Structure 1
Amino acid sequence: MPPAAPVGQVDPVMDTYARFPISLTRGRGAWVWDDRGRRYLDCVAGIAVCTLGHSDARMRRALNRQLGKLQHVSNLYRIPEQEELAGAITARSCFDRVFFCNSGAEANEAAIKLARKHGQTVRGIQGTEARPPLILTAQASFHGRTLAAVTATGQPKYHRGFEPMVSGFRYFPYNDTAAFEALLASSEAEGPQVAAVLLEPLQGEGGVHPGDRAFFQRVRELCDARGILLVFDEVQIGVGRSGRLWGYETLGVEPDAFTLAKGLGGGIPIGALAVKRAVDHFRPGDHASTFGGNPFACRAGLTVLAEIERRQLLGHVQRTGQLLQQTLGDLVKRHPQQLAGVRGWGLLQGLVLRPEAPPAPAVVKAALEEGLLVVPAGADVVRFVPPLTIQPRQVRQAVERLEKALIGLG
């Protein structure tokens, strides 16, 4: 591990993370090693990012070839790799066009701007500072750290210290049809005012809460009836993590647009907003991204999608996700005083802790000592988001290591 800054000298890295005291230096598949040679089973994967695992041979070869050709040019010119990736996404989804950026927060910012324009051009909402177009989002959601995206996030803890937030967002309890209908009715009591509804098919950061199919179907019906844009944030659940390529497929509900990032690049920064042709309101000059959709990042995305198909990873995720959920469920039965249950889809699973158990950050720290990397999802959920290539024996090893950590905590 790099030595700490000498007394009196400022650490050059800003203090935006409460980092664990290990320095990871290399990885292979679902394993990573620190600078002292200790090995860890990685069920974080960069927080649902490393789709194909670490140092994947196919990814290395594809990116090395791309670096030998071209890594970046301006979006002022056509980019073949970008057009190919956009075509790969639209061919595999219900969407027609794609805008590329660099992260999930940026993708959601693009969606928020699109929603504002939809509100004006389709719903005739003449937004003012006092009465802006509204975007309805769920409590316990997470949509990113930029100012508009963090305002869309229905968790007040992320707002503190950054007030005033961006105007035009209202929140309702996730999966609560009656509450959503009441908020929609009150928001439109004096005429059209809601531009969009922004939802995660499964809330990850907010505690691993899967969407309810009947709720999402009702939201779709109400949006259709009023011409409201329905946007899904698939930054964490998209690109195969649910066991289907896209989260909306699990719900049986098509949104008008969705956002991607994380797993799309397999570790290379890329974000995307995909839309149906009818709601493609952007025109030249409306939005842009200097780095978005450059040849290098798009080659990474193309490789991820190709490898998901070549290796038949969706079926693999369904099987290993079921094994992970079942094995964690057995753990709950063995430790009922500490554990309350398991919830999730595919390889995004949350182990729910009881109020009397140690909080999730303490469990994560204890797991680290056992050579297992997991991540909290709020104060009472331990989240598993391993590479989609994780093997059944590694799933069992992960749960065994977590059980040792729980026993050690008492």
Structure 2
Amino acid sequence: MTLHERYADAMMKTLSPPLAVLVRGEGCYVWDENGTKYLDFLAGIAVNSLGHAHPDMVAAAQQQIGTLAHISNYFASPSQIELAERLKRLTGAGDAGRVYFCNSGAEANEAAFKLARLNTAGGRRNRILALNDSFHGRTMGALALTGKPLMRAPFEPVPGGVQHIETSIAVLEREIDDTVAALFLEPVKGEAGVIDLPEGYLRRARELCTKHGVLLIIDEVQTGAGRTGKWFAYEHSNVLPDAVTLAKGIGGGVPIGALVTFGATSDLFLRGQHGSTFGGNPFVTATSNAVLGVIERDDLVGNAARRGEQLRELITRIDSPLISEVRGRGLLLGIGLSEPVALKLAAAALAEGLIVNAANESSIRIAPPLIVGDAELADFDERFRAALASVTSSGLVSANR
């Protein structure tokens, strides 16, 4: 049996068949079982901040796995404490901040959901607001927050109390009042096709949440750790949240999530109200410290800002009837298409040795490693142009465009 056949025979049918079986990676490139080389401009869906097999990450993982891998949450480790302190500093939570560690973005949002439920004001706050077309994870609480009805429908009833609203300042102003416990939002809707919030939205959300005692909880699972050209996307709006959820890029490939609380929000959780056996264990926190340390040392946040502008300019210079707009910030970009051919374009790109993602029928998502440089951008340009030409010449694009 081939590896693909073995996968189909062994794995649960929750995902589409794999596009390839990958066996190794280096920098911004990966190779499949047949030796085919691909330029990875998805980075494991914004996870592999340092690309593949970065020597500092490898060394940290090897050292820690050979020393102490797991100890449960009855004990602490130096790497856990160091990472919590680092995240308090990087997020701006400061001395009053607190950190809860888990294993994924969905788990971080589950913790944040419970945190929101604690902001009751004596029972007067019974509403949680989230945005239409948002994505916060696939576990039941995170799914309840997710603004995609088709994803929730097979699993109803999901936990209640969540109201999904349109993403406009006018709706925000109408809905936020003293009955709301929390507002959940992504600063960029990644799974929706990399959709930016309206200008001024986050600043107005902060003002309204402060006025009414509402927790502003920002999901930075996909946008955090420098991906948008700032450590966290809320920095572009010069605001601080009451809590932020993190995962993906902070681990660079190891499974880790975190909830960071700010100010008085840090006092809401009491002992025994939440926990995780694996959360914050020595192996993942030591590796995460190495990842974040490299991002700081090598100014990869600045590199994301600079390379993101280069990548945006490169895409907008392509003369193709398929490209209608470029969205997003830094190294999280969405290419809006004039025709619903994103799946075919992503497949054509893969055939050219380029990994990108069709977030939906009319959007291509791009999220390369933060280490990307001139050579990789030039390689992307060549491969993506070839993919566009392939789809355009196939007759899939309307003749009048």
What TM-score, normalized by structure 1, do the two folds share?
0.91
The CA deviation at 1:152 is 0.6
Q: Name the amino acid aligned to 1:207.
A: G
Matched, 1:287 2:280: no
Distance change >3 Å, CA 21–CA 344, structure 1 → 2: closer
2:153 counterpart SS class: coil
1:298 counterpart SS class: helix
The CA deviation at 1:213 is 4.5
Structure 2 match to 1:384: 366
Structure 1 match to 2:226: 240
CA contact (8 A) 1:213 1:251 kept: no
The CA deviation at 1:3 is 5.2
Q: Name the amino acid aligned to 1:67.
A: I
Q: Which of these residues, 348, 352, 357, is aligned with residue 366 of structure 1?
A: 348
In structure 2, how many angstroms separate the alpha carbons of the residues matched to 1:134 and 1:301?
A: 35
In structure 2, how many angstroms separate the alpha carbons of the residues matched to 1:304 and 1:211?
A: 28
CA contact (8 A) 1:201 1:248 kept: yes
Aligned pairs (5 A) from 1:97-108: 97-108=98-109
In structure 2, how many angstroms separate the alpha carbons of the residues matched to 1:201 and 1:164?
A: 27
2:72 counterpart SS class: coil
In structure 2, how many angstroms separate the alpha carbons of the residues matched to 1:379 and 1:173?
A: 21
2:76 counterpart SS class: coil
Structure 2 match to 1:345: 329
Residue deviations 1:229-262 (CA, integer Å, cap 9, x gap):
0000000000000111111111211111100000
Structure 1 unmatched runs, 5+: 128-132
The CA deviation at 1:53 is 0.5
In structure 2, how many angstroms separate the alpha carbons of the residues matched to 1:93 and 1:150?
A: 25
Structure 2 match to 1:221: 207
In structure 1, how many angstroms separate the alpha carbons of the residues matched to 2:195 and 2:237?
A: 13
1:92 counterpart SS class: helix
In structure 1, how many angstroms separate the alpha carbons of the residues matched to 2:233 and 2:323?
A: 27
Matched, 1:47 2:45: yes
CA contact (8 A) 1:213 1:252 kept: no
The CA deviation at 1:163 is 1.4
**Structure 1 ranges of 4+ moved more than 6 A:** none
Structure 1 match to 2:62: 64
Q: Name the amino acid aligned to 2:304.
A: V
RMSD between aligned residues:
1.5
In structure 1, how many angstroms separate the alpha carbons of the residues matched to 2:131 and 2:305?
A: 27
In structure 1, how many angstroms separate the alpha carbons of the residues matched to 2:329 and 2:359?
A: 15
In structure 1, how many angstroms separate the alpha carbons of the residues matched to 2:21 and 2:131?
A: 36
CA contact (8 A) 2:4 2:21 kept: no
1:81 counterpart SS class: helix
Q: Which of these residues, 233, 254, 260, is aligned with residue 240 of structure 2?
A: 254
Q: Name the amino acid aligned to 1:227.
A: G
The CA deviation at 1:68 is 1.6
1:258 counterpart SS class: strand
CA contact (8 A) 2:128 2:162 kept: yes
Residue deviations 1:159-204 (CA, integer Å, cap 9, x gap):
1311122211111222x100122233xxx5xxx4211000111111
Q: Name the amino acid aligned to 1:249.
A: E
Residue deviations 1:194-231 (CA, integer Å, cap 9, x gap):
11000111111112112335111111111111101000
Distance change >3 Å, CA 221–CA 3, structure 1 → 2: closer
The CA deviation at 1:61 is 0.7
Distance change >3 Å, CA 214–CA 5, structure 1 → 2: closer
Distance change >3 Å, CA 21–CA 305, structure 1 → 2: closer
1:291 counterpart SS class: coil
Matched, 1:27 2:13: no
The range that moved more, 259-268 or 218-227, is: 218-227
In structure 1, how many angstroms separate the alpha carbons of the residues matched to 2:360 and 2:381?
A: 20
Residue deviations 1:31-90 (CA, integer Å, cap 9, x gap):
000010000000111100000000111111111111121000011112221111000111
The CA deviation at 1:320 is 0.7
Structure 2 match to 1:130: none
The CA deviation at 1:126 is 5.5
Identical residues among aligned pairs (%): 43
In structure 2, how many angstroms separate the alpha carbons of the residues matched to 1:361 and 1:348?
A: 18
In structure 1, how many angstroms separate the alpha carbons of the residues matched to 2:98 and 2:376?
A: 38
Structure 2 unmatched runs, 5+: 393-401
In structure 1, how many angstroms separate the alpha carbons of the residues matched to 2:313 and 2:293?
A: 29
In structure 1, how many angstroms separate the alpha carbons of the residues matched to 2:4 and 2:199?
A: 51
Matched, 1:138 2:122: no
The CA deviation at 1:358 is 4.3
In structure 1, how many angstroms separate the alpha carbons of the residues matched to 2:310 and 2:335?
A: 14
1:399 counterpart SS class: helix
The range that moved more, 393-402 or 147-156, is: 393-402
CA contact (8 A) 2:25 2:31 kept: yes
Q: Which of these residues, 144, 148, 157, is aligned with residue 151 of structure 1?
A: 144
2:217 counterpart SS class: strand
Q: Name the amino acid aligned to 1:179.
A: V
Q: Name the amino acid aligned to 1:376.
A: A
The CA deviation at 1:103 is 0.2
Q: Name the amino acid aligned to 1:344.
A: G
CA contact (8 A) 2:105 2:136 kept: yes
What TM-score, normalized by structure 2, do the two folds share?
0.93
Q: Name the amino acid aligned to 1:352.
A: G
The CA deviation at 1:125 is 2.0
